[in-house]
Structures are given as C-alpha cells and as structure tokens.
C-alpha cells in the first residue's frame, strides 16, 4: 500500500510538472517574456566617428492565437521606443505553424508594423516561410510574394540581393540584403552579385535570413545579421534538440566572431512547427556599431 501510494504521488508530481512545463512553454515564455538584447561592437576597419544603432526584428510567424496583429503592434511599439537609426526586419513574416487557429491577414500584420520609423529607414528581407507559406507564389514559381506586396503597401523596401549606400555624419556605409537561401522553389540568394553592387571601401551591413551563409561572407562585410534559427526555440540543460542549420549549434544564437568576422543571430519573436519556446525567450535585438564592445 505504501509503495502504491508513493508511486501515485510520484506519478501525480510528474504529471503536474509536465503540465506546468507545457503551460510555461506555450503560454508564458513565447508571449510574456519578450526581452531586449543589446550587442555593442566595432568591427575591423570601422570608420572612427560612425555610430549606428540598429533595431532587429526577426521571425514574427504571424498566426492566431500565438502571434496576432495586436501582439505584433505591441512588439513594434516597443521596438520603436528603442530609437534606432535603422529598423531591420529579418524575414519569416508568415507562419510556418500548423497548430494554429488561422493565419493573420497580410494587410493586418503589415498595418501593425506601419508605425515603425527611423532616421535611416525601415528595411526588410524575406525568409523561407515567406515563400513556403505563400501558395500563390509557390504555384507560380516566382514572386512577388504576398509579403513583398504587404511590405510595399507600408513603404518598406525588400532587399532581394540588393545593396544601397547611405551616409551618416560624413561617413558612408552600405546596407545589403540577400534573398532567401533555402526557398522551397530554389536558392534565391546571390552573395557575389550583391556585394558587386558595393562601389567603394565603405563598410557593409549584410542582412541574411539564414546564418548558414556566414562561412562564405568575406571580411569585406562588417557584420552579418540573421534570424531563422529561433535560437533552437527549445533549450533544455543547454541542449537544443532541433536547430534548422546545417552547422548545428554553431550559428544558433548570439554574437559569433570567426576570423575577425562578426555575425549576430537573433532568437526571433515567434514560433514555428510547434507553438512553444523553452529556455529561449523571444527577443528584440539592438546592435550598436562603433560602440564599446559588449562585456
């Protein structure tokens, strides 16, 4: 009898812990634990006197009830309050979520982002789900996708293998963005063609949805900015069961430096596959270039 009582008590404890963990992973961490993470760095050959504050938003995965237009607007308002010189949207606006109550209409999530502004603009790239979850673009085999149209409707340019020069405080820099590397139709990215548009020695800021391009990025690029991995989305005792990268955990999250080259990978905002985050809360990322390095 005592053994049976102990067994039932242990079983009840296990069930309670499992339910509590699931509740946290579904209803608390993905929604209530949004944080702001700041990285400060001065890449090699960065011009003295050039300071840039970038605000990065990645992987919304808009869907109901997990990432509604109302929630996206709240995130955008929080990002706007950070007063970036630029706001960079790093792809995967569409859901990728099979366990959802439905999609958020593109005009609704775009309207939720329409309040974003910055002295040097709001700029975007697309992610793999912005193709895979667009039946019309998939059937046609080409864009413009629904995300292209939605962002154009609020005046946000999409960088599909494009580089643009900008000037601040007498210093030039380039903003470049790659088309998606793992689109379900075919790879669309063109790193050499994109960098060929850069006509001088000014530093390049590169937006690339998937961080897997980083080994091919030359030191000509000051910093590469990515999302896609969600930081693994679920992290238990330091282990990440699934990271959508051919490099495993190498580029899962954070500030990575290899041979003097800098990569920053956002853990993103939404969820994909399953509506859970555990050990990897959603985040808005701030990158301060030309600032003292982060501790």
pLDDT at 21: 47
The torsion region of residue 22 among left (phi > 0), alpha (psi -120 to 50) and beta comes to: alpha
Range of weakest confidence among 116-120, 126-130, 146-150, 183-187: 183-187
What CATH architecture does domain 34-289 belong to? Answer: 4-Layer Sandwich (3.60)
- Euclidean distance between CA atoms 206 and 210, whole angstroms: 12
Strands (E) in the chain, as ranges, are 35-41, 52-57, 63-64, 86-89, 102-103, 122-124, 162-168, 171-177, 204-207, 221-226, 254-258, 261-265, 283-289
What 3-state DSSP class applies to 195?
A: helix
Give kind and range of the element (H or E) at residue 112: helix 106-113
Does position 117 have pLDDT exceeding 90, yes or no? yes
- Average pLDDT (207-227) is 98
Does position 282 have pLDDT exceeding 90, yes or no? yes
pLDDT at 294: 55
How many residues belong to the chain?
295
Does position 263 have pLDDT exceeding 60, yes or no? yes
Closest CA to 105 of 146, 141, 135: 146
- Euclidean distance between CA atoms 163 and 265, whole angstroms: 20
Residue 18's pLDDT band (cuts 50, 70, 90) = very low
pLDDT at 293: 64
List, for residues 24-80, the tens digit of each pLDDT value.
Answer: 555 554 455 799 999 999 999 999 999 999 999 999 999 999 899 999 999 999 999
* Model-wide pTM > 0.75: yes
Share of residues in the chain with pLDDT > 70 (%): 86
pLDDT at 28: 58
């Amino acid at each position: 009898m005592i053994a049976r009582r102990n067994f039932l008590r242990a079983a009840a404890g296990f069930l309670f812990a499992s339910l509590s963990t699931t509740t946290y992973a579904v209803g608390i961490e993905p929604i209530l634990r949004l944080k702001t993470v700041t990285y400060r760095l001065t890449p090699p050959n960065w011009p003295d006197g050039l300071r840039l504050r970038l605000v990065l938003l990645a992987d919304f995965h808009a869907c109901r009830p997990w990432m509604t237009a109302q929630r996206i607007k709240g995130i955008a308002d929080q990002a706007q309050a950070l007063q970036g010189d630029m706001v960079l949207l790093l792809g995967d606006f569409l859901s990728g979520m099979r366990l959802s109550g439905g999609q958020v209409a593109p005009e609704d999530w775009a309207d939720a982002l329409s309040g974003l502004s910055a002295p040097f603009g709001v700029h975007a790239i697309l992610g793999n789900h912005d193709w895979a979850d667009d039946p019309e673009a998939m059937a046609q085999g080409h864009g413009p996708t629904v995300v292209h149209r939605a962002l154009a409707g609020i005046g946000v340019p999409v960088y599909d293998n494009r580089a643009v020069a900008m000037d601040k405080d007498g210093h030039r820099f380039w903003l470049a963005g790659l088309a998606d590397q793992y689109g379900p139709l075919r790879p669309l990215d063109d790193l050499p063609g994109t960098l060929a548009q850069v006509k001088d020695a000014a530093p390049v800021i590169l937006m690339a949805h998937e961080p897997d391009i980083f080994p091919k990025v030359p030191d000509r690029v000051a910093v590469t900015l990515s999302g896609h991995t969600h930081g693994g989305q679920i992290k238990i005792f330091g282990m990440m069961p699934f990271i959508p990268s051919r490099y495993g955990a190498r580029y899962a999250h954070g500030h990575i430096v290899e041979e003097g080259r800098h990569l920053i990978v956002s853990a993103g905002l939404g969820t994909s596959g399953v509506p859970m985050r555990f050990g990897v809360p959603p985040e808005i990322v701030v990158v301060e270039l030309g600032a003292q390095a982060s501790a």
